[in-house]
Amino acid sequence: MITIISGTNRPRSNARVISDIYARLLDQRQMPNQILDLMDLPADFVFTALYHNAGKNDQYNELNKLIESTDKFVFVVPEYNASFPGVLKAFIDGLSYPDSFKNKKAALVGISTGSQGGALALSHLTDILHYMGMHVLAAKPRLNYISKSLANGELTNPLYESLLLEQIDSFINF
C-alpha cells in the first residue's frame, strides 16, 4: 500500500488535486494506494497530540497508525514561503520517532504557483526525512506554475503527467 500525503491543510488545495491525479495514475498500474489529506488532521492537534499529550488524541492516533502501517509514501508538497507548509512539519513532529519513517521509502512531488516548482520545499523535506531514516527517491518532479496547468481536476500540461508517470515507474521498483 502506498500512502499519498497531501501536504497542506488548505481547503481545496492544488496539493489535493495532484494527490488525486497521482492516485489515479497508481490505480492504472494496479498499485494499491490511499490518500492522507492533512485536512483530516484534528484542528487542535498541535495542542492535543504532541509532546506531553502524545497518544492522547484518538483522531491523531489513527493517522499515526496509518503511517506506521505503510512502507511507501508519496508526499505532494506545496511551496509555502520558500519551504513546505508548517502543518506538514507539525504532523511529522507528532509521529512516533524514530520508527514512523525509519527504513521506509518516499517519493516527493513539488508544486508551486511560482517558477521554482517547490525546489526548496523538497530540499528541506528531504533533509528531514533522511534524518528520520527514510529512503527518498532521487526523481522529484517539480510542477511550477501549477495553477496554469490544472483544469477541472486534470493536468493540462502533458509534460507534468509524463514526469509523474516516470516517477511512479521508478518508485514501484524502489
What are phi and psi for residue 56, nearest 5 degrees? -95, -10
The answer to whether residues 59 and 29 touch, using CB atoms and an 8 Å cutoff, is no
CB burial string 48-76: b at 16+ within 10 A, e below: ebbeeeeeebeebeebbeebeebebbbbb
pLDDT digits (tens), the chain, 174 positions:
999 999 999 999 999 999 999 999 999 999 999 999 999 999 999 999 999 999 899 999 999 999 999 999 999 999 999 999 999 999 999 998 888 999 999 999 999 999 999 999 999 999 999 999 999 999 999 999 999 999 999 999 999 999 999 999 999 999
* C-alpha dist (Å) from residue 13 to 31, 51, 76, 79: 24, 28, 11, 12
The answer to whether residues 78 and 121 touch, using CB atoms and an 8 Å cutoff, is yes
Q: Please tell me the chain's helix, strand, coil percentages from 3-state DSSP, rounded to the nearest 5.
A: 45, 20, 35
Domains of the chain by start residue, with CATH:
2-172 (3.40.50.360)
